[in-house]
Structure 1
Amino acid sequence: MIGTKNIANSIQANYRYFVLFLIIFYAVGFAGLSIPATHSFFVHLTPFALLLSSFIVALFHSKFSAKTILVFVFIYAASFIVELIGVNTGAIFGSYNYGHGLGIKLFNTPLIIGLNWLLLVYVSNSVMERTNWNPIFKVLGASFLLLAYDVLLEQVAPNLSMWKFNESAVPVQNYVAWFLLALLFSVVIKLLKINTKNRIAPVVFGIQALFFAALLLTLN
């Protein structure tokens, strides 16, 4: 117990180094994706980047209770199932297909997509926990943050071989579905009182948003 507490304190004490590492890591990723000769190689590193970012956020999470773990598993599983149905039917987000950028797939759906949803829901709610808003506005704020993130991400996803819609433009139903799914998961987190106060989570959200914004200006 004492050892675990010491590790947690050590992680918190080295917060600045984790932030510096994330900045360097995503800067290197941006450079690699921006150079044609290395673009394909860095595309294949996308799942690793997502795993690493999630791991760092998890290190700064205060406490993994049984309830918290169950909620996280629910968000992962539910979002994966929704994505699985969506990509195979086109009924939820519109007609789209996943590329090779997100790694191993099951039934045309990357296994890591559920982790992506979990990370984004967690960090967006963590951002809102820094405000003094009432719970309803925090939930709505987190959902709109995720919607804004998706609007940005959709512009670069095809260039990163993540996914691509069959239509020339991203359908409105995709954004509606993203918002409603984000709202559902945020409500679950708030109702079950899952603690998303996390020192580094907003940093991860901000760095990722800047990363995709920079890629949008470079690749498109």
Structure 2
Amino acid sequence: MNNELSFSVVKSNTSIFAIWLVTISGMTGIWLGYGAWFLPKTPLNLLLGLALLYWNFPLKNVWPGMLIWSLVYITGMGVEMIGVNTGLLFGDYWYGENLGPKLANVPLLIGINWVVLTFITATIAKRFVSNPWIAPVCGAALMVALDFFIEPVASVFDYWHWNAGYAPLRNYIDWFVVAFVLQVLVKNYVPQAKYPLPLHHFATQVLFFVFFYLINK
């Protein structure tokens, strides 16, 4: 039992170090003018984040867990396809090239991004909020708060672009609604995390986008 606990601590600390190393390296490289090299590697960063989360929090009930997280992926991709191709959700926008290959004009890794963000915010909310219905609200609010800082730099990084040149209010409203539905869907499938990897993962995202939000204002 002690060996298992020690290995869990090692996994957590190693993953936290890796997440911070990649984030700080990317921030520094882009800031120094090497964005053309770093930004196309964004898909690798997303996949690394997913892999580290799964390494630390493997599915206990494999088939129900796979079903739930597959639904998160499909929902994330689905709402983005509706948004990009019709403008009925989020607003009128289109994806650039730095998020990798696309299906129906949406990068395949956007679904992974929805999975990762839903997992880390739901885990953080569950850790700090005991009420099972308030926690999803808090998790969705964390997702929208992060999106607020992503939006102003998304076009600079050629992630996505708004036809109007900025994210409309409806983007944040729709984001909250979709995020809340996903938070409710996964609330029984996220761990009561003893180790702080999800918090660090979220913190690196906030730091990265707030930094570039401030220097691009």
With the length of structure 2 as denominator, give the TM-score of the two structures.
0.92
Q: How many aligned residue pairs are there?
A: 214
Distance 2:39 2:47 in 1: 14
How far off its partner does 1:133 sit? 2.9
Query: Given that residues 47 and 102 in structure 1 are in contact (C-alpha distance below 8 angstroms), is that contact kept between their aligned partners in structure 2?
Result: yes
What amino acid does structure 1 have at the position aligned with 2:41? L
How far off its partner does 1:216 sit? 1.5
Query: Given that residues 54 and 119 in structure 1 are in contact (C-alpha distance below 8 angstroms), is that contact kept between their aligned partners in structure 2?
Result: yes
2:38 maps to what in 1? 42
In structure 2, runs of 5+ residues without a counterpart are none
1:170 maps to what in 2? 167
Change (3 A) 1:196 1:162: farther
SS in 2 for 1:97: strand
1:196 maps to what in 2? 191
Distance 1:49 1:81 in 2: 22
Give per-residue Cα distances to partners, 1:53-90, cap 9 Å, x unaligned: 11111111153421111100000011101101110111
1:76 maps to what in 2? 73
How far off its partner does 1:7 sit? 7.8
2:111 maps to what in 1? 114
How far off its partner does 1:215 sit? 1.7
Distance 1:35 1:196 in 2: 38
In structure 1, runs of 5+ residues without a counterpart are 1-5
How far off its partner does 1:168 sit? 2.9
SS in 2 for 1:44: helix
How far off its partner does 1:173 sit? 1.0
Distance 1:170 1:16 in 2: 36
Distance 2:174 2:5 in 1: 37
Distance 2:216 2:8 in 1: 36
Give per-residue Cα distances to partners, 1:13-70, cap 9 Å, x unaligned: 342232222211110000111122x111111011110110111111111534211111
Change (3 A) 1:7 1:55: farther
Percent sequence identity over aligned pairs = 29
Distance 2:94 2:203 in 1: 27
SS in 1 for 2:94: strand
Answering whether residue 44 of structure 2 is matched by residue 52 of structure 1, we say no
Q: CA RMSD in A?
A: 2.0
Give per-residue Cα distances to partners, 1:66-119, cap 9 Å, x unaligned: 111110000001110110111011111111010011000111110000000010
1:33 maps to what in 2? 30
What are the equivalent positions in structure 2 for 1:134-213 lying under 5 Å apart?
Answer: 134-190=131-187, 193-198=188-193, 199=195, 200-213=197-210
Distance 1:160 1:43 in 2: 7
